[in-house]
């Protein structure tokens, strides 16, 4: 329980669901205020996710008509992992991991039909290149995982 509170705050992981319109549900976790901000951003055309170039790169490659669309951010995952390592070790010192390069997220979709579920995953070329660059940074002498 202590570790869950360190990761997600008091009470551990709590998820919230809210309708952004008649066809869209937004999911948030840990902080209801973040979900409120997300709902406001969804209604504010000047802050639409569709204006984010990395997200556009991925979303243009996803099939149309999907019932569920999701995105996974490798850079966000690395930032989260670094934060978790600091919490688990009780250290405020820098973790010897390079920052993940700015890259489009991985996208995924699910489409349902009678007796069939179709899943698609899109990994943009820029993201594959960023993964390669990240691995090379880690493998360099003195880098995390490298022999320096």
Q: What is the pLDDT of residues 10-45, one digit of tens each?
A: 777 788 888 888 888 888 776 788 788 888 877 776
Question: In the numeric block, which tokens belong to residue 67?
Answer: 């019932």
pLDDT band at 107 (very low <50, low <70, confident <90, very high): very high
Instruction: Decide if 17 contacts 27 (C-beta within 8 A).
Output: yes
The reported pLDDT for the residue numbered 93 is: 66
Does 147 score more than 50 pLDDT? no
pTM: 0.72
Going 24 to 30 to 36 to 37, the CA torsion angle's sign is negative
The reported pLDDT for the residue numbered 24 is: 82
What mean pLDDT is reported for the chain?
Answer: 82
Instruction: Decide if 17 contacts 32 (C-beta within 8 A).
Output: no
Task: Report the C-alpha dihedral over residues 20, 26, 32, 36, rounded to 10 degrees.
Answer: -30
The reported pLDDT for the residue numbered 96 is: 67
Burial of residue 145 (CB within 10 Å: 0-12, 13-18, 19+) is exposed
The reported pLDDT for the residue numbered 139 is: 86
């Amino acid at each position: 329980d202590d570790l869950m509170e360190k990761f997600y705050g008091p009470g551990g992981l709590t998820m919230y669901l809210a309708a952004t319109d008649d066809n869209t549900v937004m999911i948030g976790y840990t902080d209801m205020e973040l979900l409120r901000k997300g709902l406001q951003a969804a209604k504010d055309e000047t802050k639409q996710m569709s204006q984010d170039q990395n997200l556009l790169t991925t979303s243009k490659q996803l099939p149309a008509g999907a019932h569920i669309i999701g995105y996974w951010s490798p850079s966000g995952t690395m930032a989260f992992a670094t934060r978790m390592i600091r919490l688990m070790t009780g250290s405020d010192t820098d973790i010897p991991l390079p920052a993940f390069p700015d890259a489009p997220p991985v996208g995924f979709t699910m489409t349902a039909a009678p007796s069939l579920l179709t899943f698609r995953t899109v990994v943009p070329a820029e993201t594959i290149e960023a993964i390669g660059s990240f691995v090379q940074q880690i493998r360099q002498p003195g880098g995390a995982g490298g022999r320096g």
